[in-house]
Structure formats: C-alpha cells, structure tokens
Amino acid sequence: MSRIRLGARLVGADLRRRSAETLLLLLALSVAATTLTIGLVLHGQTGAPYALTRNRTAGPDVVALLFPAPGKTLTAGDLSSLKAEAARPGVAASSRAFPTTWAPIGAHGVNGVAQVQGRDLAASSVDRPEVIDGRWVGGRGVVVERAFAQAMGVTVGEMVALGRRQVRVVGIAVSAALPPYPQLCTVGCILDRPDWFSAQPGLVWTTRHRAVALASPSEPVVWFEYLKLHHPDAARAFASASTSNGPPQGRPQLTPWQDIAGRQAEQLANERVAVVFGSTLLIMLALATLIVLVGGRMTDEVRRVGMLKAAGATPGFVTRLLLVSYLSIGLLGAALGIAAGRLLAPRLVTLSAGLLGHVGATTLSMAQAFTVTACVLAVVVLACAVPAWRAARTSTLQALTDGGRPPRRNRLLVAVSATMPTPALLGLRLAGRRPRRAVLTTLSVAVAVCGAVVVLYAQASLNADRTHAGGPADPQAAQLHTVTTTLTLLLAVMAAVNLLFVTRANAADARHTLAVARALGASPAESAAALGLAQLIPALTGLVLGLVTGVLLFHTLSSSDPVAPPTAHLIAMAILTVILVAALTAGPARVEALRPISKSLRDTSR
C-alpha cells in the first residue's frame, strides 16, 4: 500500500513538474479521442433517424413509380399496373396513386426545381408526412419538405413562385417515403429541360388538381404509389421479383425502403468517413507527439530512474512508474475526449432536416467508450513501453552519469555538409544526429498535409457538384464542408503542437553542439539558421510526401472522378506550411542561439 502511495506521489510530482508538457500532451490525446468519439457516435446514428421517421410517418416498404413511355402521357388504363402491384401477395396495405410532376420554384431570389406531388386532403394509409409547422395540404397553398424549405429559405406563410403562379407555403413536413433534398431524384425523376440537367429537386406537396395542372410535355405526370408489406424485411425481394425480367416496360419501377434508408444514411456516412479518416490521422499525430515527448524527456528520465534505483527501487517498479505516469495522462485525455465528443457530435453534425430526431450524445455505448479509451491507451503504451523498459534496464551508475542516448553519426551527411556554408554545415549535421526524430517530423508534417490535401480535393469536388447543379444550397455539402474544415484545423493544431515538441527537443539536444560551434566561431544567426534548417529539412520532406500521398489517397478513395483543387490553393497550402514550420522553429532556435555560451557549455558538461 505504501509503495502504491509512493508511486502515486512520484507520478503526481512528475506531472506537476512538467505541467506545460503534460497539458500539451493532454491536448493531443484529447483531440484524437474527441474525433474518434464523434466518428463512433456517427457510426451508431446512420440508420436510426430514418427508422424513427419511417415509424412516425407510416413510411412505405416499397415505392412504386410509374413513368410514361418517352413522348407519351399515361392514361387511366396504364394505372392498372400499379393496382396489380398493390394486389400482389405479401402486400398488407397501399396508398392511392399520387400524380407527380416537376416545376420551377423560386423564393427570395433562389431558384430551384420542385417535385410536385398531388395529395389528398385526408391522411393516406401509407406515408403520412409529419407536419412540423403549419398544416397539411388544403384547398390552397403547398406543403414543402423541411430540408428543401430550409435550403430555399422559405417558412410557413410566405409566397413562392411555383410554375407560373405565386402560391403560399401552408406547411413544412417530413416524410420517409422519398429521400429528402438533395437526394430526392435518386428514386426517379424526369428532368428533360436542358437547364435542369443536373438540378436537385425538392419535394412539394399540393392538391392532385394543382399537381396535374403543372405538368408539361417535357415533364409529364408520373404516378407514385406506396405499399406496405406483411414482412417489411422482404421488401428487397418483393421489388426485385417484379424487375427480374429486365427493366420495367409499362410496369412500375419498385424501390424497397432499404434503398431509401441507404440514401438517407449517405450523408452521415460521408461525414463518418471524413471524421474516421481525420481521427486516424490525429491519432497518428498524437502517437508521433508522444514518441517525441518521451524521447525528449528520456535524458531527464534516465537520471531520475538512476536516482530512484540508487534509492532502492527495482527495475519493475521504475517501469511501472514511467508507464503509469503517461497512462494517467492517457486516461484523462480519453475521458476528456469522450466527454467533448459526446458534447460536440450533435453540434458539429446535424442530421438532414428531412429526418426526425437528432444525433444524440447518449447513443455512445459503453463498448464504444471502451474502444476510444483502449485506442488512446494503446497509443500511450506503443510510445512509452520501449523507452520505459530501456530506462529501467539501464545500470544505476550509467543512469546517474549518462545524458541519454548518444547521437547518431551519418558519415555521408558529415562529408556532404563539410562543403556547405556554416548554417547548412551545422544544420545537416544536427538533423543527422537524431534520424528517428527527423522521421517523426517528416511523418507529422506529411500526415497534416495529406489530410489538408484530401480536404482540398473533397471540397473542390463538392464545389464542382454545387456549381454544376445550381439551385439552392446543398445542406449536406455545406455540413461536410464544415466537418472537413474543422478536421483540417484540428490536424494543423496537432501538427503545430507536435512541431513545438520536436523543436524544443531538438533545441535542447543541439544545445551542446551549438555552444561548441559558437565557441569555435559560429555566429548566433548562423546557429539559429542551423537549428531552423535541421527542422525545415524533414518538414519539407514531409510536405512533399504529404502532397503526393494526399493526391494518391483521394484518387484511390474517391468513387467518382476526383476534381482537382485549383493549383493556387495547393501552392498556398504548401507556402503556409513552410511559413508555419519556420515560425514555430524560429522562436526556439533564436532563443537557443542567444543563450550565453558559457552557460550552455556548463549545463551540458558531461
């Protein structure tokens, strides 16, 4: 018991002694845990909102859509095929067939395309859209699907131009029968006007009479009918049985509810992919930060271990002490990350307005919380286990007298640098002294740049889609834009934290070399430039590596043809990275270079 108390006291004292480093490390681990938590929260959410909406609005199991043959219009006789579907075995209930067409819609200067569906005043047995505001379709006015209403910026009571007439919005509603804006068309649309080629329509409900009146030869009336099955899970088999003989000619196209749910989930799935990708990069950065931090502290730690061992501590006790010291930061970081992730998930990621419910913080299960904690602790163990074991194995005498691991010698770098000016001569040799740290700097910058490149590509693709589509803003794209921008900022912050750690560790490590070099005639400016260069060389390598990896990664992951961001954006990002690295390095390098030589030599005497 007394040993545990002693251990706790030593760990507490160590963390307090290095409060700034502890806080930065806590920040790195918390940010990684936060994004991982958000990713897991989203993972549990993709199907839930649609299920809730479907349940509350008596959503159909199968959507039957009857198109006219090209250049023709449907007659009353054609509707018999819809009736035949409703009469098939397995169908428990069906709605009436609803006439639907497409018409231009405009409000507040925003122009779009509406998919106008004619409905009855009475509630349907299948698909009863839930009215969120106002009232259901009456003699006058229209009801607008909520996601579309938000994109158009219209509210109940306002007038919109629909076709050639001004109509009042009498209600805002949500339905599970069709995917909400902007994915409505994935079930089926006729958009034959040249300027509508890539338009994203939104759903508007009105009376049957008005819907039919809006039809034109280019946008004829199509008919929707919604079916409820005895066994909803058999919807996919029901739909495919009808189309197993090829495409429907004169017969309705059937879409099972699972397909619609899949479309609904796409938005969250995209965001989840972005968050999981981002959290993976952030965890890699946290690992690099931790390795640099532990490596940088080892000189001090080894001496501390020597003192502990001299006082009678066993190697096992010392190893446990070092591990517990870092694991306690890891545990706190995981706890903070989980709390922040639960808090931020509903704010950062809102569901489509076309669905009921919201991203709930309470949906994070114990297993998911455990996963986040396990990931963070695994990162800590991965970074600390070897140094802790090595420190514990170092002989007491060596630990008390030695100053950490000796620097590496790179014969080629020494030879090449001999022909260079003083800053390059010293800088290259400094970079070569700690190759592992240089590799970590390269990887940190590469990870951050890679993330930024992927985000630039993703945003370029989103912008291209939006430009191509025209019409009201795409809320999904806007949200994905927010998520990816936030992730980029987090990556930049984490990479900056990492660079600060590396610069500090490099500056401390280079203190002796630079003091000797200055005693031999190197000026402070040359010394500062050397230290900066030692940092900049691996960072520039990381920049190039990140650019190439990011482009390759996006081309690999992208399902469609990727749209390249403007070259100016990539160049700006590269310049910004160099400026950031230079700025982060310049301060510590300048401070180190101006340190009194006699003091540095005294402090680093071996």
Partner 1 sequence: MSPVVRMIGVCKHFGKGEALVRAVDSLDFEVSEGEAVMVTGPSGCGKSTLLQLMGGLDLPTAGEVWVGGRRIDRTSERARARLRREHVGFVFQDFHLMDELTALENVELPALLAGTSTGRARRRASALLEEMGLADRGHHRPAQLSGGQKQRVAIARAVVNRPTVLLADEPTGNLDSVATTEVLRLFDTLRANGQTLVVVTHDQRTAATAERIVSLRDGAIVEDHILAPSTVNAADLLSGEALT
Nearer to partner 1, 237 or 525 (CB): 525
| Contact flags string 566-605 toward partner 1, x per CB under 8 A | ----------------------------x-xxx--x---x
Maximum CA extent, the chain: 101
Closer to partner 1 by CB, 87 or 594: give it: 594
List alpha helices for 181-314, DSSP H: 208-214, 235-243, 257-310
Hey, which residues between 523 and 562 contact partner 1 (CB under 8 A)? Answer: 523-526
519 binds partner 1 (CB under 8 A): yes
Dihedral of CA atoms 284, 287, 293, 296 in degrees, nearest 10, equals -90
CB atoms closer than 10 angstroms to residue 506: 28
193 lies in the site for partner 1, by CB under 8 A: no
Per CB under 8 A, contacts with partner 1 among 496-515 are 512-513, 515
- In whole angstroms, what is the distance from residue 420 CA to residue 114 CA? 69
| Shorter beta-carbon distance to partner 1: residue 408 or 555 | 408
**What minimum distance in Å lies between the beta carbon of 383 and partner 1?**
25
Nearer to partner 1, 410 or 558 (CB): 410
Neighbouring-strand partners of residue 427: none
Given the complex with partner 1, which of 495 and 522 has the nearer CB atom? 522
Q: Where are the alpha helices (DSSP H) in 405-474?
A: 411-417, 422-433, 435-469
Shortest distance, position 492 Cβ to partner 1, whole Å = 33
Least CB distance from residue 423 to partner 1, whole Å? 11
Task: Report the residue from 170, 221, 522, 528 that binds partner 1 according to the rule CB under 8 A.
Answer: 522
Residue 433 vs 504, nearer CB to partner 1: 433
Of these, 517, 570, 573, 574, which contacts partner 1 (CB under 8 A)? 517
What is the x/- site pattern for partner 1, positions 241-270, by CB under 8 A? ------------------------------
What's the closest the beta carbon of residue 523 comes to partner 1, in angstroms? 4
Nearer to partner 1 by Cβ, of 517 and 563: the residue is 517
Q: How far is the CB of 405 from partner 1 (least distance, A)?
A: 11
Judged by CB, which is closer to partner 1: 409, or 436?
Answer: 409
100 phi and psi angles, rounded to 5 deg: -140, 140
Q: CA 339, CA 332: separation in Å to the nearest integer?
A: 11
* Spatial distance between the Cα atoms of 122 and 215, rounded to a whole number of angstroms: 23
Kindly state the smallest distance separating residue 403's Cβ from partner 1, in Å.
Answer: 10
Binding span for partner 1 by CB under 8 A among 268-276, 378-386, 521-529, 562-570: 521-529
Name which of residues 313 to 332 contact partner 1 (CB under 8 A).
none
- Cα 22 from Cα 12, distance rounded (Å): 11
Q: Which residues of 55-85 are buried (b: 16+ CB within 10 A; e: fewer)?
A: ebbbbbbbbbbbbbeeeeebeeebbebbeeb
The stretch among 2-10, 207-215, 230-238, 402-410 that binds partner 1 (CB under 8 A) is: 402-410
Nearest by Cα to 218 from 198, 248, 197, 187? 197
Residues numbered 341 to 400 that lie near partner 1 (CB under 8 A) are none
Stretch that binds partner 1, among 45-53, 141-149, 273-281, 401-409 (CB under 8 A): 401-409
Here the tokens at position 78 are 């054609």
Contact positions with partner 1 (CB under 8 A) in 420-479: 422, 425, 429, 432-433
Minimum Å distance from CB 560 to partner 1?
51
Size of the site for partner 1 (CB under 8 A): 34
Peptide bond preceding 89: is omega within 30 degrees of 0, i.e. cis?
no
What are the tokens at 116? 């106008």
Q: Looking at 79, 516, 578, 582, which residue binds partner 1 (CB under 8 A)?
A: 516
Closest distance of CB 493 from partner 1, Å: 34
Q: Which of residues 403-422 bind partner 1 (CB under 8 A)?
A: 406-410, 414, 418-419, 422
We find the least distance from the C-beta atom of residue 294 to partner 1, in angstroms, to be: 22
User: Quick one: 495 or 515, whose CB is closer to partner 1?
Assistant: 515
* Minimum CB–partner distance for residue 600 and partner 1 (Å): 10
Strands 253-256 and 165-174, by their bridges, are unpaired
**Nearer to partner 1 among residue 428 and residue 491 (C-beta):** 428
Which is nearest to 318 in space by CA: 303, 330, 299, 337? 303
Give, in order, the Cα–Cα distances in Å from 7 to each of 343, 375, 386, 591: 34, 25, 20, 36
We find the least distance from the C-beta atom of residue 529 to partner 1, in angstroms, to be 12
**Other beta carbons less than 10 A from residue 231's beta carbon:** 11
Smaller CB separation from partner 1, 3 or 408: 408
CA torsion angle 144 148 152 156 (round to 10): 30
Q: Given CA atoms 309, 311, 316, 320 in this order, what sign does their dihedral have?
A: negative
Helix, strand or coil for residue 162?
strand
Please tell me the distance from the alpha carbon of residue 478 to that of residue 484, in angstroms, as a whole number. Answer: 10
Give the 3-state secondary structure of residue 372: helix
Report in angstroms how near the CB of residue 314 gets to partner 1 at its nearest.
Answer: 30
Residue 533 in contact with residue 568, Cβ under 8 Å?
no
Binding partner 1 (rule: CB under 8 A), the pick from 247, 521, 556, 568 is 521
- How far apart, in Å, are the Cα atoms of 206 and each of 102, 113, 209, 286, 357? 12, 15, 8, 55, 25
Residues that bind partner 1 (CB under 8 A): 406-410, 414, 418-419, 422, 425, 429, 432-433, 512-513, 515-526, 594, 596-598, 601, 605-606
